[in-house]
Amino acid sequence: MIKLGVNVDHVATIRQARGTRFPDPVLLAALAEGAGAESITVHLREDRRHIQERDVKILLQTIETRLNLEMAATGEMVSLACQFKPADCCLVPERREELTTEGGLDVKGHMDHLIRVVERLSRSQIRVSLFIDPELEQIEAARAVGARVVEFHTGRYAEAATPETRRQELEKIKRAVQQAREKGVTVHAGHGLAYHNVQAIAAIDGIEELNIGHAIVARALAVGMDRAVRDMLEAMRLGYQARLSGIRP
Ligand code: PXP
């Protein structure tokens, strides 16, 4: 079955809105794991707008699965990651003014820097993934800088304004997954995935893991984290079954 990584950033967003101790992403991460999440993702942003270093430290001591630390490839963040040693690090582009991660990392444009970063993180036994747009030149660059995992940005697919654009974006992702697999790269995907659009992505042969945050945290407000994660796993399972049976949703 395709794996689900739950991103708990937006639990911390609510906490930071009031500067309180609650809600605690650590607690919600434990509930997500209990419901079947196979990893927990947090994005420690440079401006610390949601996740704090304290969250990363406690999650590392409490979660039962893997911690996937999303971060910019800056000196400060790489040093912190080498100190924290999460199982996985996903390198993402970061701009202070953005609402969320708005595009993939330009690996091709920053090869020398990324070779050093991937090497440093790998030396600390951290598995590195690069968050990229589903494009061949970025896949090749990711491979060339030493990454064994890529996470394809599904935002354009998720936010497509028309069914035709959505279909085209889906085709791009499918093609890119195939290209990455041919190069021996492990494929994850995420961004903007929700209950209504996850099935077609989960149906793509070759994707091993989806990282999903906003939609799950939003549903958790209404039905609780346990139900929200189980509902997402069910939506993914339907897509995965279609993958096995060759039927495309
Ligand atoms: N993957 C990456 C690399 C991201 O930056 C994000 C957003 O933090 C996600 C997945 C999850 O996106 P969403 O919150 O839209 O599900």
pLDDT at 245: 81
Q: Is residue 249 part of a domain?
A: no
pLDDT at 103: 84
Strand ranges (DSSP E) for the chain? 3-7, 39-43, 66-71, 88-91, 127-132, 149-153, 186-190, 207-212
Is the CB–ligand 1 distance for residue 30 below 6 Å? no
Give the integer Cα–Cα distance in Å for 112 and 90.
18
Is the CB–ligand 1 distance for residue 239 below 6 Å? no
Known catalytic residue: 196?
A: no
Is the CB–ligand 1 distance for residue 190 below 6 Å? yes
Domain carrying residue 57 = 3-244
Give the integer Cα–Cα distance in Å for 73 and 213.
21
Q: Is residue 50 part of a domain?
A: yes
- Residue 243 Cα, ligand 1 centroid: separation in angstroms? 23
Across-strand partners of 150? Answer: 130, 187
Give the integer Cα–Cα distance in Å for 212 and 189.
9
pLDDT band of residue 193 (cuts 50, 70, 90) is very high
Buried b (16+ CB within 10 A) or exposed e, 112-150: eebeebbebbeeeebbbbbbbbbbeebbbbbbebbbebb
């912190």: which residue's tokens?
Answer: 80
Give the model confidence (pLDDT) of 68-101 as tens digits: 999 999 999 999 999 999 999 999 998 755 666 6
Q: Is residue 224 part of a domain?
A: yes
In the set 70, 94, 135, 169, the catalytic residue is: 70
Tell me how many domains the chain contains: 1
Is the CB–ligand 1 distance for residue 188 below 6 Å? no
Q: Is residue 129 part of a domain?
A: yes
pLDDT at 244: 83
pLDDT at 146: 97
Mean pLDDT of 151-157: 97
Q: Of the candidates 110, 107, 42, 23, which has an alpha carbon nearest to the alpha carbon of residue 80?
A: 42
Across-strand partners of 116? Answer: none
Share of the chain above pLDDT 90, in %: 93
What tokens appear for 85 in the block?
């040693």
Q: Of the candidates 243, 225, 240, which has an alpha carbon nearest to the alpha carbon of residue 37?
A: 225
Q: Is residue 182 part of a domain?
A: yes
In the set 50, 135, 191, 209, the catalytic residue is: 191
Known catalytic residue: 76?
A: no
User: Which of the residue ranges 96-100, 155-159, 208-212 would you say has the lowest mean pLDDT?
Assistant: 96-100
Q: Is residue 207 part of a domain?
A: yes
* pTM for the full predicted model: 0.96
**What's the CATH number where 196 sits?**
3.20.20.70
pLDDT at 242: 85
Query: Which mutation among 39, 41, 77, 151 tests ligand 1's pocket best, with the greatest number of atoms within 8 A of CB?
Result: 41
- The values of phi and psi at residue 89, to 5°, are -130, 130
Is the CB–ligand 1 distance for residue 68 below 6 Å? no
Is the CB–ligand 1 distance for residue 131 below 6 Å? yes
Mean pLDDT in the chain? 95
Share of the chain above pLDDT 70, in %: 96
Query: Cα–chain-centroid distance for residue 178?
Result: 19
Give the integer Cα–Cα distance in Å for 115 and 211.
24
Give the integer Cα–Cα distance in Å for 98 and 100.
5
- Residue 111 Cα, ligand 1 centroid: separation in angstroms? 23
